[in-house]
């Protein structure tokens, strides 16, 4: 094989990027472009899918030019994407009938409430089948909203004139020819976030389509995460290159971290945190509110599953200390400030800015700083803020542990994983090693791996795992008794935020 590279398209909520990777999984070049955001009403968040497609074509060109390569050097294309965001378009013209409704958009709350009220199971109504609670987060109610609000859309959907896709599906269809024979498919990980997919059979469920009012004729074919879906037809830059890998962003990051097996776990430290813990071929259902999701499926091999938990306020707490309190001028200053004291002076910050999510599920909670004395300085508060990120991650990880999943170590990525003090405390409070890879671009890398595996660019998961190189490892240093005492005090601090509203 002459091609020495794989290109990954990373279509995120705030930016679209294309990254060229070499056989060692090292990024060679990047093209990046912002995604315009539209906020037509409070709680509404939209993207223009045509702008996304144009932006993706542009960044592909930039990445190829910066690497000084052509399509002949690219063995395959992989796609990773913002999940759940819903696009509905006209199959004949390729024009979306409405702007894409983004995962953050909450306009469908009335529909969610009505569906929950109609069942004794409430928001858990479809949880057994889909692994997800009812929420505006997932695609199903977004599709229904578009069909109910765009004139004639429902009739046209039933007549097969329209197509729905998450952003991976939209890009795949356009890359492979659009109206002139584009492939209308999605992968299992993205499909598992629509709330229309049966987690066991990995096919669309007629009863869910009925409940949400989504015609089957609208839906993409569900394929694996790693196979040749088709070849690029519409972008001359990559013409005839196979599109061979698709993974939703969090699943892609887990794959890029080579956390393939049961107990393999990654935590992404961004504005919020995203934790995924692999459960192998077993579908594990969590009572405490973690989502059950498809981790990946390679060709015709059995699917692998994961538990997913997110923490709403982590990196954004550091931004709050900077922007609202003026405690620091730059987020990077948080670490030296926190490191200037040996402990938090007894202070705990619980950033329940919008209530508490998993495992507490308390919308009535609001943030609190507790344990204050005359002794506490801003350095102590800086330290307490970092510790709150680690404590909240333990809250979520303990739910996975309670479901019987043993974690040997935690692989980390994202902006705040640069913070060494935070990473050390995370290891201390979990009692397991925390490990950061050399290549931080784990999301795009995961999509590249899925695509490269399908075309034989990489031979096996073992070969990929061998590419994964450890950048830094933090070993737990806190004695177990102290660890549990600190964690118990955190849990006590959490109780002080409850019943506030
Ligand atoms: P996202 O992808 O969610 O936009 P990033 O992965 O770029 O986020 O991470 C940015 C977040 O990380 C910001 O919320 C910022 O406050 C936080 N952050 C960045 N650097 C540090 C640091 N050294 N210590 C703690 N938090 C940090």
pLDDT band at 362 (very low <50, low <70, confident <90, very high): confident
Query: What is the pTM assigned to this prediction?
Result: 0.90
Ligand 1: list residues with CB < 6 Å. Answer: 270-271, 315-316, 318-319, 331-332, 334-335, 414-416, 418-419
Average pLDDT over residues 329-335: 95
pLDDT at 1: 52
Atom of ligand 1 minimally distant from the CA of 332:
23
- Among 321, 416, 417, 436, name the best residue to mutate to test ligand 1's pocket (greatest count of ligand atoms within 8 A of Cβ): 416
| Residue 214 pLDDT exceeds 60 | yes
DSSP class of residue 29? E
pLDDT over 90 percentage in the chain? 86
Calculate how far, in angstroms, residue 416's C-alpha sits from the geometric centre of ligand 1. Answer: 4
pLDDT band at 202 (very low <50, low <70, confident <90, very high): very high
Calculate how far, in angstroms, residue 421's C-alpha sits from the geometric centre of ligand 1. Answer: 14
pLDDT at 441: 86
Burial 206-227 (b: 16+ CB within 10 A, else e): eebbebbbbbeebbbebbbbbb
The protein residue with its alpha carbon nearest to ligand 1, atom 14, reads 315
pLDDT at 295: 97
Average pLDDT over residues 94-107: 94
| Residue 324 pLDDT exceeds 90 | yes
Distance CA 442, CA 439 (A): 7
Distance CA 452, CA 163 (A): 28
pLDDT at 287: 76
pLDDT at 364: 86
Calculate how far, in angstroms, residue 414's C-alpha sits from the geometric centre of ligand 1. Answer: 7
Calculate how far, in angstroms, residue 484's C-alpha sits from the geometric centre of ligand 1. Answer: 27
pLDDT at 439: 85
Structure tokens at 314: 């982590």
Q: Could you list the beta-strand ranges (E) of 38-169.
A: 46-47, 74-81, 87-90, 100-101, 162-165
173 versus 415: which is more confidently predicted?
173
Let me know: does 247 contact 223? Beta carbons within 8 Å.
no
pLDDT band at 390 (very low <50, low <70, confident <90, very high): very high
- Residue 178 burial by Cβ neighbours in a 10 Å radius (0-12, 13-18, 19+): middle
DSSP class of residue 494? H
Let me know: does 254 contact 307? Beta carbons within 8 Å.
no
Structure tokens at 213: 């009012």
pLDDT band at 433 (very low <50, low <70, confident <90, very high): very high
pLDDT at 475: 98
């Amino acid at each position: 094989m002459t091609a020495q590279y794989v290109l990954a398209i990373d279509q995120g909520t705030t930016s679209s990027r294309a990254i060229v990777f070499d056989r060692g999984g090292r990024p060679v070049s990047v093209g990046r472009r912002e995604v315009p955001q539209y906020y037509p009403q409070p709680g509404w968040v939209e993207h223009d899918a045509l702008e996304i497609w144009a932006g993706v074509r542009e960044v592909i060109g930039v990445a190829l030019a910066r690497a000084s390569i052509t399509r002949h050097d690219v063995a395959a294309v992989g796609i990773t994407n913002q999940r759940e965001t819903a696009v509905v378009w006209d199959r004949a013209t390729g024009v979306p009938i409405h702007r894409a409704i983004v995962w953050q958009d909450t306009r469908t709350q009335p529909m969610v409430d009505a569906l929950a009220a109609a069942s004794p199971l409430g928001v858990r109504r479809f949880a057994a089948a889909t692994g997800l609670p009812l929420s505006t987060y997932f695609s199903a109610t977004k599709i229904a909203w578009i069909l109910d609000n765009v004139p004639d859309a429902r009739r046209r959907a039933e007549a097969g004139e329209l197509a729905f896709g998450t952003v991976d599906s939209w890009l795949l269809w356009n890359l492979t020819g659009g109206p002139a024979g584009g492939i209308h498919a999605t992968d299992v990980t993205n499909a598992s976030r629509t709330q229309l997919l049966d987690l066991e059979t990995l096919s669309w469920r007629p009863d869910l389509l009925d409940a949400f009012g989504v015609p089957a004729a609208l839906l993409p074919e569900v394929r694996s995460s790693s196979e040749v879906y088709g070849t690029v037809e519409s972008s001359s830059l990559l013409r005839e290159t196979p599109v061979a890998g698709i993974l939703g962003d969090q699943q892609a990051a887990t794959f890029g971290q080579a956390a393939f097996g049961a107990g393999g776990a990654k935590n992404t430290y961004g504005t919020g945190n995203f934790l995924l813990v692999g459960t192998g071929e077993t579908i594990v259902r969590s009572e405490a509110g973690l989502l059950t999701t498809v981790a990946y499926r390679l060709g015709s091999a059995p699917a692998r599953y994961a538990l997913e938990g997110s923490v709403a306020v982590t990196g954004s707490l550091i931004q709050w200390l900077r922007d609202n309190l003026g405690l620091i001028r730059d987020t990077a200053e948080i670490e030296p400030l926190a490191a200037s004291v040996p402990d938090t002076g007894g202070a705990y910050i619980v950033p329940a800015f919008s209530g508490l999510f998993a495992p507490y599920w308390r919308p009535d909670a609001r943030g609190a700083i507790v344990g204050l004395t005359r002794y506490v300085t801003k350095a102590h508060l800086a330290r307490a803020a970092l510790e709150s990120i680690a404590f909240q991650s333990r809250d979520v990880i303990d739910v996975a542990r309670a479901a019987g999943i043993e974690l040997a170590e935690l692989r980390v990525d994202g902006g705040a994983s640069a913070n060494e003090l935070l990473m050390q405390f995370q290891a201390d409070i979990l009692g397991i090693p925390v490990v950061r890879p050399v290549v931080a671009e784990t999301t795009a890398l995961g999509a590249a791996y899925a695509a490269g595996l399908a075309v034989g660019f990489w031979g096996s998961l073992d070969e990929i795992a061998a590419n994964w190189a450890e950048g830094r490892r933090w070993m737990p240093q806190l004695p177990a008794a102290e660890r549990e005492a600190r964690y118990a005090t955190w849990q006590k601090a959490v109780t002080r935020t409850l019943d506030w509203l």
